[in-house]
Amino acid sequence: MGAQKKGGARVSDDSEEQSRQRLQAILLADSFTTKFRPVTLERPKVLLPLVNVPMIDYTLAWLESAGIEEVFVFCCAHSTQIIDYLETSEWRTHPNLVVRTIESHKSISAGDALRYIYEQQTETSQIQGDFVLVSGDTVSNMPLADLIQEHRERKKRDEKAIMTMVIKKSKPSLITHQSRLGTDQLFIAVDPLTKQLLHYEEDKVDHARGSVCLDKSLMESNPSVLLYNDMQDCYIDICSPEVLSLFEDNFDYQHLRRHFVKGVLVDDIMGYKIFTHEIGSSYAARVDNFRSYDTVSKDIIQRWTYPYVPDINFGGNRPVKLGRQGIYRACDVVQSRSAVVGASTVVGYGTKIGNGDRILNSVIGNGCSIGSNVVIEGSYIWNNVTIEDGCEIRNAIVCDGVRIRAGAVLEPGVVLSFKVVVGRDFVVPAYSKVSLLQQPMKEDSDEELEYADSSSGTADRLSGLSLEMESKGSELGPDGAGYIWEVCEGAHDEEWKHSVAPIPEDKLAEITQAMDDYDDMEDESVVPTSGELKSDADSINTDVNDPCDDYGYFEKEVEGTFLRAVEEGIKVELGVLEINSLRLSYNMESADCAGAIFYSMMKLAVDTPHSSASELYKTASSIIAKWKGLLGFYVKQTDEQIEVIMKFEEMCQETAKELGPLFAQILHVLYEKDVVQEDAIMRWAEEKAGADEADKVYLQQCETFIQWLKEASEEEDEDDDEEED
């Protein structure tokens, strides 16, 4: 090598240097989320067993066999546990793979982690070139060497190509718009020729409408764009060193996708580009939530991750034997003759299965003892769990050392954290999470920033709740131990989405129903906006139905805005702004706005608890007094004022009959507050005069008022006349 000629060897030298570069990877051994709580309070996520093997072993085994020579394991939460584990595992002495650990307790996001690594790097220069960025919960068997080569070549051609993102085809569910891994449907736009990533959207997709917003410039600057909605982001990235410095420069980047990718794509930083690579037959997935824990476990059992399957010793695991129907069983399992172990089940070493047990689609860890007549379906039982006679466990995760006493039942979606004891005959309700540790009063943002907002509002509610807990003693029956965690406010209806349990039938039906409803509505209301495409007959048809429905929607939106304004004490001017924007987006007249606002005000008044009509009157008038500015903005014309009165009448007749007796009084208030002018009332009265008797109820009610108005105006007229004279 030393005797190599200098001239003309420039290019080959360069490529040699590149190929000599150690293949490096950064493995984030912390997900920086709280999705696996309460389990992750006691053990880091990467050490949680996935089909009886810690998740990090899958990642390391894959990286090793893909030719990576050096892995930097970034530890944050529970770093000592991870380091201890790696010290004792076979990765310590692995001939081909050097595992180094980086420890930092300050990092609260992937962005912080990368910034920390960058800072460290300037001291010791650890990351020499391109590297693979994965998280410690990735399960894959894809080859990396070619991909890294491809990335390097592209980098050589185009300095700005700093990252290659791995994607895999996976159809999202049509009903829930959720990928099979429990993440939101991903929407990406890719240049079909260069595979450059042009758009990345995972949260703002409007599923109900089935639409997504694309930047117009995207279409202008690219001759062709491929749009995918059936791709799954594998969270495997080949990065150039520039990525680290980008994180350093943009210190507010936290999330790899939400901030970094968006930042590069939208803000167009230095013209950097991200490319995608679609993997075909290989497998790659990330265990992001309990749903994906379930899905990936089943994929492993079904051998999509071959050779990282339970019957092959791939990284320090003890292989178990594979029998028919995908039943993996350790050789020393003691199983009663009357027990039934069904398809797709894994049973670990030293586990005892009692008489009449039924085990289906489940993973049972090492050293468990299962009593008689136990039913376990679709569940994940970790190590050293004791399950006594007659228990029923469906779609649950049961962590190490749990004891489930006789006759207890775990309903779908339950997660029992370490060493919890479930009392005799206790039924753990669906989707509950149970831990020996109490739920923290306030979410410490140690692990999590991005989701902090979802829990901030619930802090005080929680504190009250945990007081109750203490008074109750154990929540899991008299001989149990553990606290049932309360789910966060926002997450409550989302719970079924990310749980280990399959989505219940009724929930699916509900969503389908909602979608159908929406579809119907869409057929009638949304389509005309693109009416040019429709045939005339259609558009006539829809035009008739259209305004009402659209108005209904608009009214709801206005009501929501108004209520929020009341709650948060938003200023009138701001309220006007918001309602104006709504008005524009729904293409409404200001008369409609006036009607809608008035409707919301009255609704609020009626909804406010009241005992008598006079009290209702008081609230109503105070609301009118307070928000007359808002209403007043839209009732400058007489027509609009009439609209308000008509609306009021309509309300009194239909939705809020309580207001009926107060009609005249409230009308008076409106008049006094200058919301409706005398002209409007008079014209309304004139219009109504010719109507049916039934319609005249309210007119009659305010007859005296109108009479008085007439007189007053005559007087005024006279006064005016006098003045004029």
Partner 1 sequence: MPDVQSTVLEFVNKLRKRKIEGSQSTAKCTVEILRSVISQQRVPHSNQASALIDAVKAVGEQLVAANPVELAVGNVVRRVLHIIREEDLSLATAAMAGLDLLDASDDDGEDDNCRGVGYSAMSAAVAAAAARSTLRPPSLQTLLEGTPESAAVPYTSSSGADSESKTADKSSITRKLKHDVIEGVNHLILEISGCHEQIAEQAIEHIHQNEVILTLGSSRTVLEFLCAAKEKKRSFRVFVAEGAPRYQGHLLAKELVARGLQTTVITDSAVFAMISRVNMVIIGAHAVMANGGVIGPVGVNMAALAAKKHAVPFVVLAGSHKLCPLYPHNPEVLLNELRSPSELLDFGEVSDCLDFGAGSGSPLLQVVNPTFDYVPPSLVSLFITDTGGHNPSYMYRLIADYYSADDLVM
305 touches partner 1 (CB under 8 A): yes
**Size of site (CB under 8 A) for partner 1:** 48
513 touches partner 1 (CB under 8 A): no
The reply to whether omega before 38 is within 30° of 0 (cis) is yes
Only segment of 274-282, 476-484, 556-564, 677-685 that touches partner 1 (CB under 8 A): 274-282
User: Site for partner 1 (CB under 8 A): which residue of 326, 440, 531, 547?
Assistant: 326
456 touches partner 1 (CB under 8 A): no
Only segment of 32-40, 80-88, 291-299, 399-407 that touches partner 1 (CB under 8 A): 291-299
Cβ proximity to partner 1: between 323 and 429 the closer is 323
Written as six digits, the tokens of 222 are 């690219």
Cβ proximity to partner 1: between 34 and 499 the closer is 499
Question: Smallest distance, Å, CB 60 to partner 1?
Answer: 12
Question: Smallest distance, Å, CB 26 to partner 1?
Answer: 22
Comparing C-alpha atoms, which of 169, 188, 189 is closest to residue 179? 169
User: Site for partner 1 (CB under 8 A): which residue of 35, 43, 115, 180?
Assistant: 180
CB atoms within 10 A of CB 660: 15
524 touches partner 1 (CB under 8 A): no
> Cα separations (Å) of 415 from 237, 435, 447?
31, 9, 20
User: Site for partner 1 (CB under 8 A): which residue of 96, 125, 224, 612?
Assistant: 96
- Buried/exposed 17-39: b ≥16 CB within 10 Å, e otherwise: ebeeeebbbbbbbbbbbbbbbbb
58 touches partner 1 (CB under 8 A): no
User: Site for partner 1 (CB under 8 A): which residue of 22, 100, 106, 169?
Assistant: 169
In this structure, the strands spanning 345-347 and 327-329 are: parallel
Only segment of 32-40, 173-181, 364-372, 545-553 that touches partner 1 (CB under 8 A): 173-181
Beta bridge partners of 387: 370, 404
168 touches partner 1 (CB under 8 A): yes
Find the helix or strand (DSSP H, E) in which 484 lies.
Answer: strand 483-485
> Mapping DSSP to helix (H, G, I), strand (E, B) and coil, where does residue 435 land?
strand
User: Site for partner 1 (CB under 8 A): which residue of 298, 358, 534, 673?
Assistant: 298
Only segment of 147-155, 278-286, 427-435, 612-620 that touches partner 1 (CB under 8 A): 278-286
Site for partner 1 in 345-384 (CB under 8 A): 360-361, 377-378
User: Site for partner 1 (CB under 8 A): which residue of 508, 566, 613, 646?
Assistant: 508
User: Site for partner 1 (CB under 8 A): which residue of 83, 98, 175, 682?
Assistant: 175
Cβ proximity to partner 1: between 84 and 230 the closer is 230
Under 8 Å between Cβ of 296 and 186:
no
Residue with tokens 């129903």: 513
Comparing C-alpha atoms, which of 337, 385, 340, 335 is closest to residue 365? 385
Question: Smallest distance, Å, CB 361 to partner 1?
Answer: 5
Cβ proximity to partner 1: between 325 and 704 the closer is 325
Only segment of 310-318, 398-406, 603-611, 659-667 that touches partner 1 (CB under 8 A): 310-318
User: Site for partner 1 (CB under 8 A): which residue of 126, 344, 454, 608?
Assistant: 344
Cα gap 343→696, rounded to integer Å: 73
Q: What is the CA radius of gyration of the chain?
A: 33
Under 8 Å between Cβ of 104 and 113:
yes
Question: Smallest distance, Å, CB 277 to partner 1?
Answer: 14
Site for partner 1 in 129-158 (CB under 8 A): 141
Comparing C-alpha atoms, which of 414, 412, 365, 370 is closest to residue 391? 370
Under 8 Å between Cβ of 173 and 283:
no
Only segment of 195-203, 298-306, 578-586, 647-655 that touches partner 1 (CB under 8 A): 298-306
Written as six digits, the tokens of 219 are 């279409």
322 touches partner 1 (CB under 8 A): yes
506 touches partner 1 (CB under 8 A): no
User: Site for partner 1 (CB under 8 A): which residue of 12, 15, 19, 173?
Assistant: 173
> Cα separations (Å) of 142 from 301, 569, 666?
18, 55, 72
Under 8 Å between Cβ of 643 and 595:
yes
114 — phi, psi (to 5°)?
-65, -35
Under 8 Å between Cβ of 300 and 320:
no
70 touches partner 1 (CB under 8 A): no
178 touches partner 1 (CB under 8 A): yes
Question: Smallest distance, Å, CB 369 to partner 1?
Answer: 25
Residue 21 DSSP symbol? S
Cβ proximity to partner 1: between 226 and 566 the closer is 226
314 touches partner 1 (CB under 8 A): yes
Cβ proximity to partner 1: between 333 and 597 the closer is 333
Only segment of 277-285, 610-618, 626-634, 639-647 that touches partner 1 (CB under 8 A): 277-285
Under 8 Å between Cβ of 46 and 152:
no
User: Site for partner 1 (CB under 8 A): which residue of 100, 227, 306, 720?
Assistant: 306
CA dihedral over 580, 584, 585, 589, signed as positive or negative: positive
Only segment of 8-16, 21-29, 190-198, 305-313 that touches partner 1 (CB under 8 A): 305-313
Only segment of 28-36, 275-283, 562-570, 657-665 that touches partner 1 (CB under 8 A): 275-283
227 touches partner 1 (CB under 8 A): no
512 touches partner 1 (CB under 8 A): no
Residue with tokens 């994906």: 292
CA 413 to chain centroid, in Å, comes to 17
Only segment of 61-69, 156-164, 648-656, 700-708 that touches partner 1 (CB under 8 A): 61-69
> Mapping DSSP to helix (H, G, I), strand (E, B) and coil, where does residue 336 land?
coil
> Cα separations (Å) of 329 from 355, 356, 528, 532?
17, 18, 61, 63
For residue 642, which amino acid is it?
Answer: I
Written as six digits, the tokens of 178 are 């959720």
Under 8 Å between Cβ of 147 and 277:
yes
95 touches partner 1 (CB under 8 A): yes
291 touches partner 1 (CB under 8 A): yes
Cβ proximity to partner 1: between 334 and 343 the closer is 343
Cβ proximity to partner 1: between 304 and 382 the closer is 304
Comparing C-alpha atoms, which of 338, 337, 342, 305 is closest to residue 327? 342
Question: Smallest distance, Å, CB 56 to partner 1?
Answer: 17
294 touches partner 1 (CB under 8 A): yes
Listed in order, strand segments (DSSP E) in 380-536 are 380-381, 386-387, 392-394, 397-398, 403-404, 409-410, 415-416, 421-422, 427-428, 433-435, 483-485
Contacts of 410 (CB under 8 A, 6+ apart): 379, 391, 392, 393, 394, 396, 398, 404, 416, 422, 428
Cα angle for residues 18, 23, 29 (degrees, 5° grid): 150
Listed in order, strand segments (DSSP E) in 85-209 are 98-103, 131-135, 138-140, 161-169, 187-190, 197-201
Comparing C-alpha atoms, which of 485, 552, 468, 466 is closest to residue 517? 552
509 touches partner 1 (CB under 8 A): no
92 touches partner 1 (CB under 8 A): no
Residue with tokens 């009501």: 559
For residue 202, which amino acid is it?
Answer: E
User: Site for partner 1 (CB under 8 A): which residue of 81, 101, 104, 282?
Assistant: 282
Site for partner 1 in 186-205 (CB under 8 A): none
Cβ proximity to partner 1: between 313 and 456 the closer is 313
Written as six digits, the tokens of 391 are 């228990």
Return residues touching partner 1 (CB under 8 A). 61, 64-65, 95-96, 141, 168-171, 173, 175-176, 178, 180, 182, 230, 280-283, 291, 294-295, 298-299, 302-307, 312-314, 322, 326, 343-344, 360-361, 377-378, 395, 501-503, 508
